[in-house]
Amino acid sequence: MTSKKNKNQTKEKTLKTYNIKMPVYTTSIIEKEEGFFEKVTYKEMNSFLKNRLLTFTQPFSTDNRNKTKRMVISKITPIDVCISDVPSVLLQINAFKTNLYDGYFEASEKIPFSKDNKIESDSNFVLFYPCISGIYDGNYSCYFLMLAYEDPTKDTGEVSKLAKIVANRILNIPVQNIKLDMILQELKSIGTIPELSVKYYSLTEAENNIDVKYACYLDSSKLKKEEFRNFKDMPFDDVKSLLSDSSEDGNYQKKETTIFHGRREYKISKQLVCEAEELLKETAEKIFNAQSSITQKELEEKIHDIDFMTEKMEHVLSNYISGFY
């Protein structure tokens, strides 16, 4: 009896925890002559961002491919915060899902959703941290580190998706598409790559194996193929060779390579954009993945408190900057 009681007490003492995921992206770099902004400051960069927000005057709708559900950004509120003495802008994004054909709300009774109903959240937070580098020969580079606050109340990747839409389509400072040479330079300094995955996607005309009695009804037949390869502990020279290998370019429409090193993640995508001309578009981005553990009490009482969020973000950005620069 005593043993059972002790086990129950141990369970009560074991606190349930949750993780806040905070991926960090780099926006496109704005290179100007120093005289353009005179001596640019963090506050001026933040003002630049807020002025861009003034163009957001009506809800912005995004469609999910082949899905009825739509995500609509209805409001964006800039909040001035300070991260390690650097003035920054925290965006509070109101967004709702609509065009719902399935599901219901249940309280005392079930109320089915209709396509005009909205499920809205006003607690999507994205931080824009200004960076200024390279003030030499009258030139400098300005960009933002963009941190998405993926708290446990959100679906995985939901806030990151909103952040990219806001950066790309509203602020017009998209997530940086970095050059492959830059990635190779960083990978070379690592040496042996701990993990690398490659995904291949293809959609081709399928062989017509249908029974003759159904053939007259057949409109089209496609074959979708996906292939996943995972590599571990690959030397840099072999990674470089793999990334430049074009021997299989004709066998897929899209190739996604993801390279993992600690919290760093490099994504390189190669996609066929014109089949007739065999034209491939290559894009690459660098992500810093971080997370912070919180208790049940913090989830219930502090999860969207500005001071609590900025403290978590400051810790992540401190690690990012010390690890990348």
Token pair listed for 213:
């009695």
Look at residues 27, 44, 26, 53 and name the one whose alpha carbon lies nearest to residue 173.
Answer: 27
Model pTM score: 0.72
Helix (H) or strand (E) holding 114: none
The answer to whether 273 and 281 are in contact (CB under 8 A) is yes
The answer to whether 170 and 153 are in contact (CB under 8 A) is no
- Per-residue pLDDT of the chain in tens (325 residues, 90 and over written 9): 555 555 555 554 567 899 999 999 888 877 554 444 556 789 989 998 999 999 888 888 776 655 666 778 889 999 999 999 999 999 999 988 776 666 666 677 777 766 676 777 889 999 999 988 765 555 677 889 999 999 999 888 889 999 999 998 898 888 876 777 778 888 888 889 999 999 988 877 777 777 778 778 877 778 888 889 999 999 999 998 988 887 777 677 888 899 988 888 888 888 765 554 445 566 777 788 888 999 999 999 999 999 999 999 999 998 888 765 4
Query: What are the sequence ranges of the domains in the chain?
Result: 16-176+291-324, 181-285
The answer to whether 104 and 73 are in contact (CB under 8 A) is no
Token pair listed for 90:
């925290």
DSSP category for residue 27: B
The values of phi and psi at residue 45, to 5°, are -65, -40
Token pair listed for 27:
């926006």
C-alpha pair distances (Å), 148 with each of 89, 129, 204, 248 = 12, 11, 37, 35
CB atoms inside a 10 Å sphere around CB 140: 19
CA atoms within 13 A on the CB side of 219: 0
**Rounded distance between C-alpha atoms, residue 80 and residue 73, angstroms:** 20
Instruction: Name beta bridge partners: 52.
Output: none
Contacts of 67 (CB under 8 A, 6+ apart): none
CB atoms inside a 10 Å sphere around CB 321: 15
